[in-house]
Amino acid sequence: MAMSADTIVELIKEGLPGAEVRIEDLRGDGDHYAAHVIYEGFVGKSRVQQHQMVYKSLKGRMGDELHALALQTSAPE
């Protein structure tokens, strides 16, 4: 079963409190998303570390309920 965009946002915001999260359904199929995440906690972290933090917030659902997620992460300007 595919994961809804709202669920993705909820999980990321739960795992990264205060994050700004925007989700795009890339194919309109509810299975391929892009996530844009801005989070103060990313300051001083590499892009790989930032992505690991987002994946951790998804609690193991990546690759199962969530098939594909393109990530863009950054710290606030």
User: Which CATH fold topology does 5-74 show?
Assistant: GMP Synthetase; Chain A, domain 3 (3.30.300)
In this prediction, residue 8 carries a pLDDT of 93
pLDDT digits (tens, 9 = 90+) for 31-43: 789 999 999 999 9
Task: Tell me which residues of the chain have a pLDDT lower than 50.
Answer: none
By the 10 Å C-beta count (0-12 exposed, 13-18 middle, 19+ buried), 29 is classed as exposed
Q: What is the 3-state secondary structure (H, E, C) of 22-64?
A: EEEECCCCCCEEEEEEECHHHCCCCHHHHHHHHHHHCCCCECC
Q: Model-level pTM?
A: 0.88
In this prediction, residue 62 carries a pLDDT of 77
Question: Distance between CA 58 and CA 61 in Å, rounded?
Answer: 6
In this prediction, residue 1 carries a pLDDT of 58
